[in-house]
Amino acid sequence: MDNTSKNRNKKEDEGLYNIPLPLPKNSSLLKQNVKEVPGNAATGTVSSVMCLLSIKATGHNYVRKMMRRYNSTVFRMNFFGTRITVCDDEGMQSLFTEHLVKKEPRFGSLVVNRKVYRGLIPFEYTNGYDHDQKRDFMVDYLHCVKKDWDTQYLLLTVDEEFRTIGDRLLQNDDFEDVLSNAMCNIISRSLLGCCLDYSQVRIWFQHVLVPVFKLDKWDSKPGVDATEHLAKEIEESPIGIMLMSKGKKHEFSKNEILMELLAMVLFNAHRSNSGAVISAMIYLQQLTEEQLNLLKTEATKLLNGKCSINSLVHIENFLMEILRLHPPAKSIFGIATQNFTMESQCGFFSVKEGELLCGDLYWTLRNPKVFVDPDTFVFDRFTKMPELKKYMCAFGGNYYDNIKSFHKCIGQHFSMTLLKMCICHLMFCEYEPSCEPKWTGRKITRIPASDKPFTVHTFEYRRETSGPRGARAPVDINEFLVETEVETFDYESEDGSM
């Protein structure tokens, strides 16, 4: 797998591995160096449709073509309006700077179907006071459940759900759907203390985010009914009841709490983590015996209670490389709130108030100036160069950014913990893929690391467990119910990550 060390040494010798120094911050020099963003500034429908068709045909590769055409990691593209697309992490910082950029109430060409979302919009698409209040509330809640994931609860839940996959596969040969069902159970049990009805979850996903041009004619009834069903499940769950009571003190309505929980558990947590587990399964198949042994040794120690989740060095670095090559969230969107100068790897660019922006996480994580042989999977990339972790923007922003920074993912710690545990359990699973997965970069909306759905003939979980069965509902919620000051929390975990 790691067949790139020769090239890497060569590139290191040539200095290509060095990240370029930032341009001088002296203001007169800055003014002299500011450039117009290159690219297509046309706003017409024809230009937009052409761009859409090219993206449909070539996916991520279209963005790479544009980067090459303009010889720049920052350029304009007409994708439902002219957008400044940013493909390097220096430029990306602007998208996470609160006074420069705000969120649009949509996700590129997709909008939240407010009928399904009961007239609201998830806080991640809002700005200012409303966003900050709800975000703080959820961060506060996640912090309280955190200590439970770090202990036995999550381990037992993953164990129990992974054991059911083989049987479910006998009734449903769509493996991605079966895995997604198991992940939905794990996540809803961990975050809500109840198992959401997966048949309704499927329907909810089909209706909650819809293409902007189809919204008017969309038949939302099935989505509205699914919301009804799922909201009732959360409302009746022990955690739902307590969260609504806590929310009342913050003047959030019952509806707001229910919808935010639905969005967080399903929209944010479920899809991305399910996709990442499938990517991990695909790459596990390609590892050498030696690499597998490194992972299995760590997994055995964790599952036998002999080490903590923070000491899984090889598993964490393997996961990092997967999230780098296949970030579950590929892009982030925003709108400039003032004229400003964007500092990027390719120079200073002038951005005008009101301009639309798109941070391309996929290409930022494949930036050759930061990651040598960026398209190649390198098992020990992050083991050899742990400092590269700070360029891991798969969760938005910098990996080590404080959790309270503007719009950065609040589920990074949960996901890293959950995914590491899933990889530990996968070390004891045997599965036979039906065909060899292939990734060409053409499928811009696919989360897992294969163009086509990943399918397996069989899936067997072979670990003997001696520990207790029947995972209990998480968290001693009393701590959360006590009025807590969000500001006083220290979100750093033992190893410095969130």
Interface residue with ligand HEM, options 414, 428, 431, 459 (CB under 6 A): 414
Residue with smaller CB distance to ligand HEM, 67 or 264: 264
What six digits make up the tokens of 491? 């979100």
Q: Are strands 110-112 and 106-107 parallel, antiparallel or unpaired?
A: antiparallel
Residue with smaller CB distance to ligand HEM, 91 or 328: 328
Residue with smaller CB distance to ligand HEM, 328 or 437: 328
Least CB distance from residue 398 to ligand HEM, whole Å? 12
Query: What b/e sequence results for 57-89 when a residue is b if at least 16 CB atoms lie within 10 Å of its CB, and e otherwise?
Result: ebbbebbbebbeebebbbbbbbbbebbbbbbbb
Query: What b/e sequence results for 237-257 when a residue is b if at least 16 CB atoms lie within 10 Å of its CB, and e otherwise?
Result: bebbebbbebbeeeebeeebb
- Sheet strand arrangement including 110-112: 106-107, 110-112, 209-211
Stretch of 147-155, 408-416, 437-445, 483-491 lying at the interface with ligand HEM (CB under 6 A): 408-416
Interface residue with ligand HEM, options 234, 388, 410, 423 (CB under 6 A): 410
Residue with smaller CB distance to ligand HEM, 155 or 409: 409
Judged by CB under 6 A, the number of residues near ligand HEM is: 23
Least CB distance from residue 150 to ligand HEM, whole Å? 15
456 has which bridge partners?
A: 433
30 has which bridge partners?
A: none
Q: Which of residues 249-278 bind ligand HEM (CB under 6 A)?
A: 264, 268-269, 272-273, 276
Stretch of 45-53, 79-87, 411-419, 421-429 lying at the interface with ligand HEM (CB under 6 A): 411-419
Which string of x and - marks every residue 275-304 that binds ligand HEM (by CB under 6 A)? -x----------------------------
Give the containing element (helix H, strand E) for 57. Answer: helix 45-58
What is the Cα 227 distance to its own chain's centre? Answer: 23
Residue 395 contacts ligand HEM per CB under 6 A: yes
What is the Cα 427 distance to its own chain's centre? Answer: 23
For residues 318 and 416, give the distance between their C-alpha atoms in angstroms, rounded to a whole number.
Answer: 12
Which string of x and - marks every residue 315-344 that binds ligand HEM (by CB under 6 A)? ------------xxx--x------------
Please give the torsion angle defined by the CA atoms of residues 112, 117, 121 and 122, in that order, rounded to the nearest 10 degrees.
-100
Residues that bind ligand HEM (CB under 6 A): 124, 135, 138, 142, 264, 268-269, 272-273, 276, 327-329, 332, 394-396, 407, 409-411, 414-415
